[in-house]
Structure 1
Amino acid sequence: MNYVIHGATGAQGAPVAAALAAVGTPVIALTRNAGAVVAGAQVRAVDLRATDALADAYRGADGVFVHLPLGRQEDRLRHALSIVAALNAARPGRVVFSTSGGTPVEFADRAVTAVIDGLKQSGLSHAVIAPRLFLENLLLPPVVTGAREQGVLCYPLPADHPVSWTSHLDVADAAVALFGRPDVTGLIEVGLHPAVTGPELAEAFAARLGHAVTYETLIPAAFGDSLAPLLGTEVAAGLVGLYDFLGTLPDNAIAPDRSAQVLLGLHPRTTLRWLTESVR
């Protein structure tokens, strides 16, 4: 068996590649950097706009893990269409696609929708992982530094807005499980249930850091300003738009009947467990 993993040097793909390689499964790690090194994997540099090169990488694979990188919407849509065309040409045994979170899937952008629709029309065995917000977002320097040094966890969501937070590691667990579960198809939502509010996040930070931490709602525009030096102005502006929109929703919680808990028997890390594993 062999598996092709998109973004295998990044936050989402790396734990999937590592989990497969750890049990001796052959892995082809797709990256945009020809000089990248991925432990236990064969690295292959591929331009996401190059349909023929992608199809060549997918051909003969038992499974492909796909997610779209951040970027301009027109670039993401071009990547999505290229990936779908390559999957149709190569016909791998199984495709697992992560929406990469953010909004509920019904509000996903055109690029994510293009991949989901393309998979439905392809006839390929596939599953779509739909996380919401990633716990790793809370490790962004402007966020975690405030909790450490000022005892204030600032985030651009209302305090009473429940979110089914999840970790990249939980998505990787679901992806690996789905490769071995062709009977599970369609949408699989990954995240905490019940969903967690801002003050509950702060309680977990307080338990991990050993001092009081309170939650404070940050204006999305201010969040974007703090992230622009790290992520670039265009990506930061996109995040401002995302959190402005999320703030209009009553929650960002998964549907229990489509959850990884029910469909795969997987239980995502609690906030405190994740903090214990991630924050030193």
Structure 2
Amino acid sequence: MTYMIHGATGAQGAPVVAALTAAGKPVTALTRNAGTVVDGARVLAVDYSSTANLTDAYRGAEGVFVHLPVAPEEDRLTFARNTVAAVREARPARVVFSTSGGLVTTDGDGGRGDSAESAVSVLATGLADSGVSHAVIEPRFYFENLLLPNVIAGVREEGVLRYSLPSGFRASWASHLDIADAATALFERTDISGVVSVGQYPAISGEDLAEAFSTRLGRTVTYEATDPHAFFAPLAPMLGEQATVAIADMYRALSTQPDHSIAAERSAQKLLGVTPRTASQWLADIAL
């Protein structure tokens, strides 16, 4: 039996493939292009828009790693429903779903839960009702967002870290590498189900991130908050106008909250014994 990894050549799936292959696990990389080469894995062309495709891929799998691609919400809802239908039919041994920053909990951790009609909620609820062993990884923000061209250029050229969160706003940042560590652990820890939050605890601010860059680069980097819509506008050609506006609206709504921290009770630190990288550790790992 093998582990099926969605988006295996992308920012989220590739680290999971690397972590599992490093652990000697058999991996099948699920991609849109059958001609793609993925080190250490067999490649299978699978499209979220086909329930039959997904069912065939999941049947007999030891584990499935799922995350929804950035797309219009209507498409994401279709992908979520198709994934749930395939899981119910194929019944893989274990499913691990990363919300990619969406929230399925509202447990007083300072965050807002996505609506019950959102694609993230539909997929999480569907997995819970499927009777298949599963867990949901719930991160907040990704360190990798700080490598966007409009962010890293400011750091390198001006010594200014610009991001669309207010000054002093504390959030539980994590790396895609941390998600891979949690996913690998959750494939083994079948006794753990439900939500596992991944990110820094205590949460950190933009100023803390700037300090980590300062230490790594050996020169002063300061933090500057920017308007979410102005910040994300350059991404519209890549993500699409609708998705870009939705992301900016989410950031603007979050800025009205006291923070965006995970809850210690459901953290990977407590449930899995997996401690996410600090900003400084992440910068060292990516050799910035």
By the TM > 0.5 criterion, same fold? yes
**CA positional deviation for 1:185:** 0.8
Between the aligned partners of 1:197 and 1:33, the Cα distance in structure 2 is 39
**CA positional deviation for 1:231:** 3.6
- The secondary structure found in structure 1 opposite 2:137 is strand
Equivalent residue, structure 2, for 1:78: 78
Q: Deviations over 1:188-238 (max 9, x none)?
A: 000000100111111001111111111111011210223334544333222
Between the aligned partners of 1:97 and 1:157, the Cα distance in structure 2 is 26
Equivalent residue, structure 1, for 2:39: 39
Equivalent residue, structure 2, for 1:26: 26
Contact 2:102–2:120, Cα closer than 8 Å, also in 1:
no
Matched, 1:180 2:188: yes
Residue range with higher mean Cα deviation, 135-144 or 1-10? 1-10
Amino acid in structure 1 at the alignment position of 2:277: R
Matched, 1:234 2:242: yes
Within the candidate set 152, 163, 181, 1:155 is matched to 163
Contact 1:94–1:124, Cα closer than 8 Å, also in 2:
yes
Instruction: Give the alignment of 1:1-280 within 5 angstroms.
Output: 1-103=1-103, 105-106=105-106, 107-108=113-114, 110-280=118-288
Between the aligned partners of 2:29 and 2:47, the Cα distance in structure 1 is 13
Contact 2:141–2:173, Cα closer than 8 Å, also in 1:
yes
**CA positional deviation for 1:104:** 6.5
Between the aligned partners of 1:156 and 1:238, the Cα distance in structure 2 is 14
**Identity over aligned residues, as a percent?**
57
Contact 2:4–2:64, Cα closer than 8 Å, also in 1:
yes
Q: Deviations over 1:80-122 (max 9, x none)?
A: 0000000000001111110011557442251010111101111
TM score, norm. by length of structure 1: 0.96
Between the aligned partners of 1:105 and 1:30, the Cα distance in structure 2 is 28
Q: Deviations over 1:22-56 (max 9, x none)?
A: 23211111111222111111111111111111111
**CA positional deviation for 1:276:** 1.4
TM score, norm. by length of structure 2: 0.94
Contact 1:99–1:105, Cα closer than 8 Å, also in 2:
no
Q: 1:256 to 1:133 in 2, by over 3 A?
A: same
- The secondary structure found in structure 2 opposite 1:202 is helix
Where does structure 1 lack aligned partners over 5 or more consecutive residues? none
Between the aligned partners of 2:273 and 2:39, the Cα distance in structure 1 is 28
Amino acid in structure 2 at the alignment position of 1:91: R
Between the aligned partners of 2:239 and 2:52, the Cα distance in structure 1 is 30
**CA positional deviation for 1:275:** 0.9
Matched residues, number: 280
**CA positional deviation for 1:152:** 0.8
Contact 1:104–1:252, Cα closer than 8 Å, also in 2:
no
Amino acid in structure 2 at the alignment position of 1:148: R
Contact 1:62–1:92, Cα closer than 8 Å, also in 2:
yes
The two structures, once aligned, show a CA RMSD in angstroms of 1.3
Between the aligned partners of 1:213 and 1:239, the Cα distance in structure 2 is 26
Where does structure 2 lack aligned partners over 5 or more consecutive residues? 107-112
Amino acid in structure 1 at the alignment position of 2:63: G
Amino acid in structure 2 at the alignment position of 1:276: A
Contact 2:233–2:244, Cα closer than 8 Å, also in 1:
yes
Amino acid in structure 2 at the alignment position of 1:82: N
Amino acid in structure 1 at the alignment position of 2:267: S
Between the aligned partners of 1:200 and 1:28, the Cα distance in structure 2 is 38
Amino acid in structure 2 at the alignment position of 1:173: D
